[in-house]
Every structure is written in C-alpha cells, then in structure tokens.
Amino acid sequence: MLERRHFIQQSTLMATGLLLPGMKGFAISTKEDYDKKNISDFSKRLKPLGRILELKGYYVWGCSPIVAPDGKFHVFFSRWDSAKGMGGWISQSEIAHAVADNAEGPYSKVETILAPRGEAYWDGTTCHNPHIQFIDGVYCLFYMGNSNKKTNTKRIGLASSTSLNGPWKRSDKPLLEAGPEGSWDDHCTSNPSFIKHPDGEYWLYYKSWNTYEYENPVDPKIRGNRKYGLAISKNLEGPYYRYSDKPIIDYSKLGNNRQLEDGNVFNENGKFYMLARDMGRFDHEVGIILESYDGIHWSEPKISYFGVSHYLKQPPKPKHLSKYGRFERPQILMQNGSPTHLFVTTQGGQFETSSPFVFSITKK
C-alpha cells in the first residue's frame, strides 16, 4: 500500500514537472533567496526535462539545438577527453553532432564534425562553443577556435553546409579578429551569438576582454572582465565591422569585477532578449536575461533560471569539479518564431564530468 501511494505521489510530481525521472522522490524546493522583482517571467516558463548526452570518457559542453525539416532534433556540442579534466576545452575540444526524435533525447548518431586542424590554422588547437543557425537557406555553425592552446588566439569562425548532416565547409579566416592593442576587446573574440536582423543585416554578438586586465598586475586572481560587443555585416560571410569601439554591455564600472558571459540573443514578439551566465550581478549560480528594443541598448538583468539545486538533487560536489551546481552556455531552440526549449550545460552527472540539460519553455 505504501509503495503504491509512493508511486502515485511520484507520478503526480512528474506530471507537474516537479520531479524528474531518476530523482527518487526528490521534489524541487522553492527558491526564496532573491527579491521577487529580480525574477523574470521567463524563469517561470521553464520546465526541467533532464540531462542529455552523458558520454563516457568525455566532458560535454556548449550544446546548440535546431530542428530539421523532418522534425528531428539536431544538437551541436563541444566535447573533449575526460582524462584532460575540465581545462581540456582550451587545448583539444572538438565539435560533435547528434540527433533525436525529441528535444530531451535520447540522442544517437554521435559523430565529430569539426576537430582541431593543426597550429597553421586559426582553429588549429581547439573547436569550441558552437552556435547553430539556419540563415538564407544555409546551416551556419558559428564557433570559437584557437591556434596556440591559449586564450589570446581565441577567434570566432563559421562552418556552413546545406545539410545538418554535412559536409561542413570551414572559413579559412576568423569572422572577427581581436581589436587593436589597448582596446576593450584586444585579447580575443569568443562565444558567438548570431541573428539576422529584421532590416537584413547580419549581427554577430561576441564576448571579449582587455589583455591588460587579463594580466592584472594588481590582483593576479582576476583574469579580465568579460564584456559583450556587436559586429555587423551586409553579407553572411563578412566582413564584419564593430558597431562601436565600446562594448554594448559592460558591468565593470559596478565594481567587484562584475561581468557576464555566454550571451545568447534571440527575438520573441518583436523584442530582443539575451540570456547569459551571471558573474556577480546577483551571484555566480543563476542565469540572467536582458531585454532590448533595438538589440543594442539593454535593460538591467533579471534572473532567467536558478542554480542546479533548484531543479534536481545531486550528490555532494566532487573535488575536481569547480563549476559544480550552476548552468552555463544557454542556447535557445526556436520553432516557428518562438522559443520552445532551453539547452544549458552543467558539471556532474553519472560520469562526474559535464553534460547538457534541457528545459521546455511554455508559450507567453
């Protein structure tokens, strides 16, 4: 009788989205650590579906989704040998592809599509943080590469194909080089997000920081202050020109090294939104969302989603996972002009590495 009652309770929780399969009766707790005025309506539209792509022997990161004409769900993600630890992303990440019938999986047909090409190329030592879009009849895979296993050669490039199954043609040169010495973005260009603007222009959002700040002589523990810039082109393949010599999002003046990263821009009902990882506006656990009417001038952030513990129960933090308990690399799945799923990445899982996590998004 007790077992039957427990089964009914679990079934009810799973039906309402308060319990994920495999959670063994753990219901989501209510997050009360934040002022209600700072919690976005977007966060209330999220329903957790669970982890995907837990691959033995790999860290999996940065998962970007798209739906094919046949209704199949395709994802493009970073992965690297788990023996290299979390830091392996900078020196040997590759971009892989997988397919499923549903956003939450299970995913199959996992294959590497972009691997480092050797130090003679801009993406010679890593291929990382993919961002997939369908633009002008072409599948466009924006990503970050480097050529010396370090951050100062991180650049954004493009691989394109007429099919999600490839083959993929890579750009010989980055879409956007770092800025001139002394500029806010002279260190790198990274973490691309892309939209085709309603006026027909091609807008590339990117993360960067200043080399002087990165090599901070006052506090070596501070490795730069991440800001967001915008580059615009009349053509998909470029050339891309900076909208301004200043970042469009800069939290550095707020002090305490406040910043953001992993920005992902999308449109809904005529408005621009950016999802990002918080780095001090609230804390280092939640995600944030910003709004804009022009894609350039952005609102103050609100919380877009909470930390991992708000949605599922995990074992205690393993010593080797320093980013445990937070979601990173938010990527939106758009269908018929509306966001339907949120893909993020988090450390942990059955192999104590990292893997993507999927939420469904209810309509407004």
CA distance 207 to 195: 15
Mean pLDDT, residues 173-187: 97
Q: How many helices (H) and strands (E) does the chain have?
A: 3, 20
- When pLDDT is cut at 50, 70 and 90, the band that residue 215 belongs to is confident
Q: Give the tokens for residue 3.
A: 């077992």
Q: How many C-beta neighbours within 10 Å does residue 227 have?
A: 23
Per-residue pLDDT reduced to its tens digit, 222-252:
889 999 999 999 999 999 999 999 999 999 9
- When pLDDT is cut at 50, 70 and 90, the band that residue 5 belongs to is very low
Per-residue pLDDT reduced to its tens digit, 17-58:
333 333 333 333 346 789 999 999 999 999 999 999 999 999
Distant-in-sequence, close-in-space partners of 114: CB < 8 Å, separation ≥ 6:
94, 95, 123, 127, 130, 141, 143, 159, 168, 170
Percentage of residues in the chain having pLDDT higher than 90: 87
Distant-in-sequence, close-in-space partners of 224: CB < 8 Å, separation ≥ 6:
187, 209, 210, 213, 214, 216
CA distance 357 to 326: 11
Alpha-carbon separation of residue 269 from 80, 197, 262, 273, 337 (angstroms): 38, 14, 23, 10, 8
Q: Give the tokens for residue 269.
A: 């009902």
Q: How many C-beta neighbours within 10 Å does residue 307 have?
A: 18
Q: What does pTM read for this prediction?
A: 0.91
* Confidence at residue 31, expressed as pLDDT on a 0 to 100 scale: 64
Phi, psi of 84 (to 5 degrees): -85, -5
Q: How many C-beta neighbours within 10 Å does residue 135 have?
A: 13
* H-assigned helices in the chain: 2-15, 89-92, 211-214
- String of DSSP letters for 130-156: EEEEEETTEEEEEEEEESSSSGGG-EE
Percentage of residues in the chain having pLDDT higher than 70: 91
Closest C-alpha to 154, from 183, 132, 123: 123
Q: CA torsion angle for 69, 70, 76, 82 (degrees, to 10)?
A: 180
Residue bearing the bigger pLDDT, 18 or 175: 175
Mean pLDDT, residues 197-222: 91
Per-residue pLDDT reduced to its tens digit, 47-101:
999 999 999 999 999 999 999 999 999 999 999 999 999 999 999 999 999 999 9
* Confidence at residue 4, expressed as pLDDT on a 0 to 100 scale: 35
